[in-house]
Structures are given as structure tokens and as C-alpha cells.
Chains A and B, each alone.
Chain A
Amino acid sequence: MLPDKRIFLFILTLLTANVFAQNAKLMGKITADNQGVEGVRVVIKTLSKKAISDSNGRYTLTGIPLGQYKIQISSLGFFKLERTIKITSSGTDTLNIDLSNQKNNQIEVVVSGTLKEVNRLESPVPVEVYNSTFFKKNLTANLFEGLANINGVRPQLNCAICNTGDIHINGLEGPYTMVLIDGMPIVSSLSTVYGLSGIPNSLIERIEVVKGPASSLYGSEAVGGLINVITKKPQNAPLFNAEVFMTTWNEVNADVSFKIKAKKIDLLTGINHFNYSTVIDNNNDNFTDVTLQKRISIFEKANFKRKDNKLFTLAGRYVFEDRWGGDINWTKEFRGGDSIYGESIYTNRWELLGSYQLPIKEKVFFSFSYNKHNQDSRYGNTSYIAQQNIGFGQLTWDKKLKAHDFLIGAALRQTFYDDNTPTTASADTLIPSNMAQNIWLPGVFAQDEITLSKKQKLLLGFRYDYNSVHGNIYTPRLAYKLSVNDRNIIRLNTGTGYRVVNLFTEDHSALTGARAVIINDDIRPEKSINVNLNYIHKKFYKNGTYISFDATAFYTHFYNRIIGDFLSDPNKISYNNLNGYAVSQGISANVDFSFNNGLKIVTGATAQDVTYTDNGVKNYQFFTEKFTATWLASYTVKELKLTIDYTGNLYSPMKLPLISELDPRSDKSPWWSIQNIQFTYTGFKKVEVFGGVKNLLNWTPFKKNGLLLPRTNDPFDKNVKYDANGQVIVDANNPYGFTFDTSYVYASNQGIRGFLGIRININ
């Protein structure tokens, strides 16, 4: 630390004056048990001189006038002793101090408390953290699409025309992933579809992603992973933030967020509106290339300030979405009719979740969530109207006892489900009655995180649920962490999963009107066991450059899996229990570079093998790639106040369902890549301007496969002729033996487009 100029001059003057006086130098070594002690202060108060011992215990004091002085030797908070020394001649004097031989010292020990820093990333479960800036690098209309930037996490399109999707983590479908807001679970198998929309980026502090089983804590379904959306603290959120962007496809996305801080309550509000209502048919198949959408969602979070400073927080969200795709001449009048084909879905969903800490000494939380999901959809002339209500309550007790960190809890879930399909109809078809499902799922769980040593942690968990339909469910879990140091960490994580599949709400391909859904026998729950092994290595360079590497190997074995059979009959999808097993296994690796010049590169790749073995025959799962890569390069030109972000994804071929033996389409998708570039200018005070190009390569599935949707000219199969066995007759009118089918989808048909936006932030 250099003093300011005046002090500097003053010292200089003193120094000059001292040249003429007789000065001495005092040197020495501070030792304890024959070893040098670092950081000990040697002070001559009367002269305002001080020195601190170096790593060898050595210190030097210079410019000491002749005389007798009291020298204080101290280490703050540990000890303090005083020596008297007489300096009689100029030159170098030596004062060595051996602390181990001191007897009559005043020892002043300050107990610094047991401030055990709780480092959540120290947990045996690997947590990946992405802050909100990461999602700004490739701006998307919602978090669902934004997650595509994370390696191993993939939003998958399930429907060519209605473009509904879900989040896949390491090859496992959306319902296997639990979505949480500030640690509070949204218990709903649709949460990866809808639980991620409507929270503006400006309200998100970070996203924590756990890949791997979390089922003992969050329910037997959460075997794929967790996505925890951490919102900004009311203190840190912007007073007002607005972000609007538009693309050359006339998509408009607007986000507004603001906060209100009051005496007893802090409120965060976010509003999102997305509108895409221009029919575009660049591939001239007479069908919309991308689903038209109008969406509005409102998010509200309240933190109540309680006197005892205990937690009480409530969050609510409402989503309304109107989407349609199909024949470019479709309008609302044709909804549900059989003249012009369209798929139209109205979704009304609201959810309420919260957490209340009981006003007692022990740390006990009551968490709850309730969501009501209403879907009114028409796929051509097939309708699917469903209502799903899920209520969830959970009591947890967090107790730390020495090396143990216990979490004990009890949960209750109620699922109500009703639709217009045979699923909820009575077996008696003569006098049909509605049989809505009403499932109760009480459960208890216990978890113990044991600190075995400074380097090792072990987590043991067990959950027991009772399903009112399927009976007892046991979910054990084990996690182990070995930190060689805080830059080299190995984690092993294993657990089981159990899930009752609801085809209609979760598998949209079951609904695309073109195929009849056949459920052959009583669908049994899917049971699985999952193992994840994870290694993290970080390297920091003195100049500020930083490299992190992490690799994960994952393996999930399903004892039963419900997989749609697309091949046996082109007009049907049949669902069966698997007579065998299914396996999802692979390796993923991430390497991040942060250079000290501001260049940041994030890369990731996943190689996976997702198969199912039915009646002894091994099959690859449809729509699942063997290899993916993601990357991001970001650089800020400080002088221009300009940030350039280049992002991309690469996907290997996926197996695709064909309709007939004559089908000219490829049974595999090609290698494909989506790449984007974005520029952000931050030179204005409260305003940022951004723009760029999405899908730089202008890649669409249409480019590779000229034919994506067969028989768009006859989507109701009115002119398809069948033989006596129900097989499609091949004729000049139908040379490939096609029926209308929308299941051949693996990527968006949205080509290159520019975008421009503005962001206003008032703190």
C-alpha cells in the first residue's frame, strides 16, 4: 500500500533527515519449535515503525535512531509480548524471538466463533451453476429454449406441428426432471414444459442444474435431475427492467419486471408476452413452418419480513398460451373440424408455491405447491381436453449434529386428472361414466449428509411413498464426495426412480391426431436405477486466466419403460410394458476457459447410448442423438463497450420413425448444427441494445429431407385407400403408401433470422 503523495513526501523528508542522524537496522527471526512463523508483527510504537515476518519468520526494521525502545511482538488474536531493546550503535542489530520458549507472556486468545461456512457447492451432489448472463448470450423468448445452451440438457420438440417440447437431461425425458423455484419444488410432470416460462431473465440470479438422481428428496420421479431457478433477492433485483426484442420472422418477445419494497413485504413481479402470428411456409408444403404462438405469463414472488427473521415466501405464476400450426389456410373456424387441418392448443395453467418456516427454535419448513393445468386441444378433428391438478405439501426438519446434517421430512401429494380419452373412462362401455383419477401419495424421507473428514462427504437418503393405486415405493439414495482439494473433486451419486407414466399429458406424439393410440395392457410404473460419476478439475493461473474441466459418466437402467411403438402400424402408436429393460448411458464433458483479456469460451459434449431391449432385441430409442456438443465464445471489446457472443449446438443423427417400407425419407436425421451470433452494446447509461443473427447456417430439416410431412394435401386421410387387411394401398395417387403423419420431427423448421432488441434497467 502506497500512501498518498503528501505522506510520501513527508516520509522522504524524514528519510533525508535521517541520513545525517545515526540510524540502525534491526533484523531477526521469529520462530516456534525451530520453524519460522509468518505474519507476526514487530512494532516499535514510539517510532511508528513496524514489520511483519515473512514466510521464513524473518523481519527487518530500518531507520531506528539510537536509544532504548519497547518492542511489541504480536499476532493479532493469538498472542502479544513485549521486549525492551537498547540500540547503542548504528549498524545491524539482531533480535531473534523464539516463541516456544516464552513463559511469562500475556496470551490473548480470541475465539473466532464457529463460523462454519456453509458451501452448498461442497455438497456430495454435483451442482452446475449458470448465472443469468449465461442465458443472455443467446437470447431466447423463454428459459426453456435457453437451456439448450447447457451441455447434456436438451429441449426436445415432440410435435412437428404443435411444437410442444420438454427438457431432456442426459437422455431422460422431462417428467424425470424436477423444477424448483428458490428451492421450492413445483410438483408437476409438466413443469419442464411450462414451469420454465414466464420468469424474466432480469429476475433470475442463477440456475442450478443437478444432473442425476435426487429422488429421495424430491420424490421418486426426480431421477433425471433438478433445475433450481434462483430468483434475485429483493435487495438486488432491479427497480424496473424491460426487455423487448423482435425478429425478422415477426416474433416479438417482451419482458417487464419490477420490484416493490415495503415494510413488511418485498414483491418481485415479472410479466412476459410472446407473440408470433405470421404464417411462414418457406418449405412450400402448405403447412406452417413454425407453430404460431401467443403467450402471456405473470410471475409474482413475495417475501414476508417476519419479526423473528424466519422464512415466509410465496410465489405464483399464471400462463396462458394459444398456439396453432397446420395448414396455412387454417383459421379458428376450422378448429376441430375435418376440412382444413390444424392443431390448436389452449393452455391455462396457474401454480402457487411457498415455504413457511415454523416459529420454533428448530429449523422446520413447511413447503407447498398447487398447480392447476387445463389443456384444450384439437389435433385435426381429434380433441384432447384435460385437467390436471396437483397439490403438494411437505414438512422438513433440518438438524445439524456434529458431523451429521440430517434432513427429515414427510410429504403428501394429491393428483387429480381427468380428460376426454379412454384413460379416464369406465370399463363399462355400454353405460359409460367418467372415472377421473385421484391419486394420493403420502411419503416420508430421511437424509443424512455426513462429513467423514475434511475431504470426504457421504450422503445417505431413503424415501418411502405409498401410492394409492400402485402401493409401496421405496427410494434409496447414496452420494459420496472426495475433494482432493477445492480444485479437484470426485463425486459418485446413485439412486432409484419410480414413475407412473401418463401418456397423454406427457407424450405429445400420442396426441398428434394422425395416429390412433393403442394401449395394449395395463401400463406398469417405470422403475429405474441411476448411477453418476463426476469429476471436476479447476486450474487458475496467476494472470487471472481460469480453466475448468468436468466430466460425468451416467448410467440408468430401467426395469420397465413405456415406449411408443411407431413401426408396427403407421396408423397407430401402441404403448406396452417393456419385456426386457432399457438403458440410458453416456459420458459428458465440459471445458470452460476464462482468459484474463475477457475472452470466455464454454464448450461441452455428450456421447450417449439410449437403448431398450424388448423380447431380447436391442433397439435405439427414437429421436435420441448419440452425440451432442454445445459451445459459447464471448468477448467484450472494452473500448467499444461491445460484447460479441457466438453460440452453437451440434447434433448427431437420430433414429426417426418411417411410415412404410416404401417411405423415401431417411430413417436417420443428418448431422446438424444451429449457430447464432449476438452483439450487445452497453455504452448507454441505463439502456443496452442488442441484435444479431440466429441460425447463421440457415439450417432446417427441410434442407436435407425435402419431404417432412407426408400427405399434407390430404391430412385427414380421406383419399387413402386400404385393403381388406387394413393396409394402405399403393397407387399413383399414393406411391409410397403414406398416411398423414407428423411424427417425423427432430428440429425446428425455423431458418436464418435477424433480431434486434433493447433492454432498460433502472436500479
Chain B
Amino acid sequence: MAQFKSILVALLLLSIGTYGQPRTYTFQELDSAELEEARPILLFIHTDWCQYCQGMKYSTFQDKKVIAMLNENYYLVNFNPETEQPVYFNKKTYVFRQTGIGVGLSDLAAEISAITQNTSYPSIIIFDEKYQLIAYQNSFLTSKEMITFLINKR
């Protein structure tokens, strides 16, 4: 099965490429993942111009303990709300709303910020298995703070 081989090679490459990083899921994968195993969802909202977001990517999200906690208990989704593609989340499609040329925001981020009353990046949002927002944090979290957050907000 050549097809299977190629998938395995891809998988292998994927696992090598993601070494030291938590397993991330796309929005499309969430529904089937939840069916297979119900877990809370951790949404990491970042933008490409947010330095602290990049900082978290290279420190907190590379911490072994954080990776283990996320890989075993959460579905981690990296979400850049300034990406033009619509996102599908909790049986709803959220569009990207443009506010100028090359700028805009996903309606999902707008809906989240209406609940959290905060608009800064990075945002770490936890949804339960039924897609209910149960916890959020709107600042840089060190690996220690992240672990505390994950323990306390479960």
C-alpha cells in the first residue's frame, strides 16, 4: 500500500517536525475528536504581529510539562483571528470581517471578546467539551503560570 506508506512518511515527518511542540488541532478536526474522546478545548488566540504570542510559542508551549498536560487532556487549537478563511466552530461558521484593506477580525474572536471583555493578545481560552467558555487569560503566561492556570481552571 503505497498510499499508506506515504502517509506514514508524512506522519513521521510531522512527528519529527513537531518535536518539542504540543499536538495542535484544526477547527475542522474538533468535532470528530470530541466524538472520539471528550476533552476541553484550549484556544490560543494570537496574531502575527504580537511579539508576546511568538514568545509564548517559543517558551511556554515548548515546556515539556505544558506539552504533556495539553497533549493528554486538551485539544489545542492555534487561532489567528486575522486570517481571512472562515472558521467552523461549535456547528457554526464564523466569517472574517474586513475593516480595511488587509485588516479585519474573525467573528469568532469578536464573540469571544464580547464574553471576556478583553481584546488583547495573546488570549488563552478554555472551552469545555460542549463548547462552553469556562476560563480565559489575556496575557503572556510563563510555563509555570500556564500549568497553574490549567490546574485551576479545569
Contacts and interface: CB of A to CB of B under 8 A. Distances in A.
Contacts of B33: 76-77
A593 to B, nearest CB: 11
Interface in B4-52: 4-5, 7-9, 11-12, 15, 18-20, 23, 25-26, 28-29, 32-33, 36, 48-49, 51-52
A543 B142 contact: yes
Contacts of A310: 98
Contact of A38 (B15, B62, B150): B15
B90 interface: no
Interface stretch (A99-107, A518-526, A615-623, A693-701): A99-107
B5 A100 contact: yes
Contact of A538 (B54, B72, B100, B151): B54
A52 B71 contact: yes
A744 interface: no
B103 A121 contact: no
A643 interface: no
Nearest to B74: A1
A235 interface: yes
Contacts of B32: 76-77, 110
A487 B57 CA distance: 12
B29 A33 contact: no
Find the residue from A99, A184, A544 having the highest chain B CB count within 10 A: A544
Interface in A618-650: none
Contact of B59 (A131, A232, A542): A542
Contacts of A122: 48
B100 A109 contact: no
B54 A540 contact: yes
A1 B154 contact: yes
A235 B29 contact: no
Nearest to B1: A103
B111 to A, nearest CB: 8
B116 to A, nearest CB: 10
A313 B28 CA distance: 31
A233 B99 CA distance: 7
Contacts of A50: 72
B150 A236 contact: no
A257 B99 CA distance: 18
Contacts of A3: 154
Interface string B62-98: 1100000111111000001001110000000001111
Given A113-B28, A542-B59, A543-B142, A35 B102 contact: no
A55 B19 contact: yes
A691 interface: no
B101 A184 contact: yes
A181 B100 contact: yes
Interface string A92-125: 0000000110110101011011010111111000
Given A32-B8, A184-B100, A233-B110, A110 B28 contact: yes
B113 interface: yes
A735 B58 CA distance: 68
B46 to A, nearest CB: 11
Given A39-B18, A115-B26, A309 B95 contact: yes
B132 interface: no
A641 to B, nearest CB: 14
For chain A, give the interface size range.
35 or more
Find the residue from B29, B96, B102 having the highest chain A CB count within 10 A: B102
Contacts of B23: 39, 76
A1 B54 contact: no
B100 A313 contact: yes
Contacts of B28: 110, 112-113
A594 B9 CA distance: 39
Nearest to B145: A544
A1 B69 contact: yes
B29 A112 contact: yes
A236 B105 contact: yes
B2 interface: no
Contacts of A35: 12
B49 A313 contact: no
Contacts of B4: 102, 105, 107
A158 interface: no
A168 interface: no
A61 interface: no
A690 B10 CA distance: 55
Contacts of A334: none
A20 interface: no
A277 interface: no
Interface string A71-94: 000111111000000000000000
Interface in A320-361: 355, 357
A1 B150 contact: yes
Contacts of B110: 233, 235-236
B127 interface: no
A235 B19 contact: no
Given A1-B72, A2-B151, A107-B4, A540 B59 contact: yes
A112 B7 CA distance: 14
A181 B62 CA distance: 37
A626 B102 CA distance: 36
Nearest to A72: B36
Find the residue from B8, B28, B71 having the highest chain A CB count within 10 A: B8
A233 B104 contact: yes
Given A37-B12, A109-B7, A540-B55, A183 B142 contact: no
A596 interface: yes
A233 B81 CA distance: 12
B8 A99 contact: yes
A37 B15 contact: yes
B8 A118 contact: no
A355 B101 contact: yes
B108 to A, nearest CB: 11
Given A235-B105, A311-B98, A544-B143, 13 more contacts: A33-B9, A38-B15, A55-B15, A78-B7, A105-B4, A112-B28, A122-B48, A181-B100, A182-B103, A233-B104, A311-B100, A544-B60, A594-B51
Interface of A: 1-4, 32-33, 35, 37-39, 50, 52, 55, 74-79, 99-100, 102-103, 105, 107, 109-110, 112-113, 115, 117-122, 127, 129, 131, 181-184, 206, 208, 230-236, 303, 305, 309-311, 313, 355, 357, 365, 367, 486-487, 538, 540-544, 546, 548, 592, 594, 596, 763
Q: Which 3 A-B pairs have the closest CB atoms?
A: A182-B100, A183-B101, A540-B58
